[in-house]
Amino acid sequence: MNKSFIIYSIGKLLEILALTLFIPAAIAFAEIPEKVFPAVLLNINLIGFIIAIISSLICGNFLKLIGSKELTGTGIREGFAIVTFGWIILTIFGAIPLFVYFLSQAETVTASMTIRAFTDSYFEIMSGFTTTGATIITDVEILPRGILFWRSMTHWLGGMGIVTLAIAILPAFGIASYQMFRGEVPGPTSERLEPRLAQTAKILWWVYALLTLVEVILLNLGGMSLFDAFCHAFGTMATGGFSTKNTSIGAYNSAYIDWVIIVFMFFAGMNFIIHYQVLFARKWTLLKTNKEFHFYTAVLLIAILLAALVLHTRGIAPEAQINSSFRSEPLSANMLTKKIAEEETKISTFPSTLRYTAFQVVSITTTTGYTTADSDIWPNFIRFMLVVLMFFGGCAGSTGGGIKMTRIMVGIKTAWREVKTIIQPRLIAPIKIAGKELKEKQVANIVGFIALFLGCFVLFSAIMSFLINDFTTAVTSVVATMCNIGPGLSGVGASENYAWIPISGKWVLSLCMLLGRLEIYTVLIALSPISWKK
């Protein structure tokens, strides 16, 4: 392992982070009513960003100084280590503005309060970069705009990958860049569109930016303010889920906005290679031949119809179920009846039911995590179905999390093949996707990933059950963070948040988010002793 190259590369990543921090800083600056220089620089909303920019620039340059550009060897270990440690360190620096804000809000600064503020801001920014969208902020609407924008922007940066961005704009990583790209881009396939990786990374970022811009315009046309449109477009395209409203997208109560976001969540969950091929190379046939896309669409359509039918015929859950569900703070009887009445009006007609179920299903499956209705008081069948869909996630090469559609397909096919070969031992049955054979090595990688993913899920669920009193909450908080979704069930349900989770629990969940976003293998490779052996 070439440590000095890793240090140098992380230094470079920090510089890029500093550059991106100028944007929310500018917004924070614009929000300040009286711009008297130099007092304005000490404005409580701006100072956090200034500290973050300066510290990451200094640290970045320092790391570059002590590190070395030279890399010998394959770069496999280094690439995965750069991605893993890069993400952990970038999150620390990205969390500084929020940390400063939390401290400024406190009446007295104590040690335990500082730890709590640091945990919260780290959790929040990790949730942002990993496009999870799980928040510890109970009232987001009182946050300054700079902070709000930075939260959503971390989604956007993390969605396509900040390392991928670095490869696109700084072609200096050399041989390690392919490993870095592989380590960060979700899904088992990281195809190249161009012979040069930097070119591929650039194309992916352009497509991503273009789709985001189109969504901003469409949302703006639907009556959303430009600021909110940007924040929500960032959240959608990155399949993140941070909103500028306490009730998420539900706050707008607009069918138009709902459908625009449904469509763009759907786009974000697709392989971005498809977007590129359709938009720029006009290869429409790809939509016909890409089996993962078919599977993804079929899963969504079936889930939406099933949920809509169940919800339409059964109505929302019986009161006993709602009352037995765990909440961080129990609802008063009055609030509950009001809430039930509110949710019942949303599903009064079938088209309206379809709109709300489509939104929740697409939001959960693509691992976005926006909500327009409190799906936690829907019938248990739908709640369970949503938890299952959390594992599915988006397609390979999308910004979504979860296990990914391709892997699920390969998993199902492999299981079926085992059944067939037990009956017919001499059958030669390679696993194929769209008629193309997968090498046994790839199949093993995918099946191993699914096993590892479920193994991590079990392990962290056990830890969370230890830390949290409610079982449903403990288990679904792990699913919701490992699959980078955000809302889970009960205590972390659609109308709840993660603020009440104990500090230890927040660190466990932060690790879950990182594992989920970097797809476990990257983190394991970086941490495994084999990588560090001399």
Partner 1 sequence: MKIVIVGAGMVGYSLAEYFSGLNHNITVIEKDKARCEKISSKLDVFVVEGIGSSPTVLDEADIKSADLVIAVTPSDETNLLVCNFAMQNGVEKRIARVKSSLYTQDTPNVSLEKLGVTSVIEPEREVMQRILQYIELPDVIETANFQSNNIYLRGYHITKEMPIVNKTLAEIHQIADPAQILFLVIVRSGKSIPPTGDQTLLPGDKIIAIMPKKSFKTFCTLIGYKTSRMKKIVVSGDTLTAIHLAKALQPLCEQVILTDPDLEHGRIAASTLNGVEVFHVDSTKSDMLEEMNIKHADCFIAVGQHAEDNTMSCLLAKVEGADMVIALRDDKHYDKLFASLGMDHIIYPQEITLNAIIEKIHMVSIGTHLKLKSADIEIMRISIKKNSPVTGKSLRELDKVFKKSITIGCIIKDNTVIIPQGDTIIKENDKVLVLSQKDNISLVNKVFKPEDLIRSQPA
289 binds partner 1 (CB under 8 A): no
> Burial letters for 47-85: b for 16+ Cβ neighbours within 10 Å, e otherwise?
bbbbebbeebbebbeebbeebeeebeeebbbbbbbbbbb
Closer Cβ to partner 1, 323 or 424, answer by number: 424
Question: Taking CB under 8 A as the rule, which mask of x and - marks residues 480-519 in contact with partner 1?
Answer: ----------------------------------------
User: Closest distance between partner 1 and the C-beta of residue 409, in Å?
Assistant: 15
Closer Cβ to partner 1, 435 or 529, answer by number: 435
List CB contacts of 386: < 8 A, sequence separation 6 or more.
360, 361, 364, 375
Question: Taking CB under 8 A as the rule, which mask of x and - marks residues 410-429 in contact with partner 1?
Answer: --------------x-xxxx
User: Closest distance between partner 1 and the C-beta of residue 430, in Å?
Assistant: 5
Structural element, H or E, at residue 435: none
User: Closest distance between partner 1 and the C-beta of residue 287, in Å?
Assistant: 20
380 HSE (CA, 13 A, CB side) = 9
Closer Cβ to partner 1, 115 or 429, answer by number: 429
Long-range contacts of 248-252 (CB under 8 A, 24+ apart): 248/370, 248/371, 248/372, 248/494, 249/359, 249/370, 249/371, 249/372, 250/371, 250/372, 250/373, 252/222, 252/223, 252/224
Count of chain residues binding partner 1 (CB under 8 A): 9
Site for partner 1 in 89-118 (CB under 8 A): none
User: Closest distance between partner 1 and the C-beta of residue 161, in Å?
Assistant: 32
User: Closest distance between partner 1 and the C-beta of residue 441, in Å?
Assistant: 14
In contact, 374 and 495? CB cutoff 8 Å? yes
Helix axes 111-129, 96-105, angle to 10 degrees: 140
User: Closest distance between partner 1 and the C-beta of residue 301, in Å?
Assistant: 25
Closer Cβ to partner 1, 262 or 438, answer by number: 438
DSSP, res 37 = T
Closer Cβ to partner 1, 294 or 312, answer by number: 294
Closer Cβ to partner 1, 106 or 412, answer by number: 412
User: Closest distance between partner 1 and the C-beta of residue 437, in Å?
Assistant: 4
Structural element, H or E, at residue 437: strand 436-437
**Extended strands (E) in 245-320:** none
Question: Taking CB under 8 A as the rule, which mask of x and - marks residues 243-272 in contact with partner 1?
Answer: ------------------------------
Closer Cβ to partner 1, 342 or 440, answer by number: 440
Site for partner 1 in 420-479 (CB under 8 A): 424, 426-430, 432, 435, 437
Q: CA distances (Å), 365 to each of 76, 121, 346, 395, in order? A: 32, 27, 21, 10
Closer Cβ to partner 1, 69 or 432, answer by number: 432
532 HSE (CA, 13 A, CB side) = 6
Give the binding site for partner 1 (CB under 8 A). Answer: 424, 426-430, 432, 435, 437
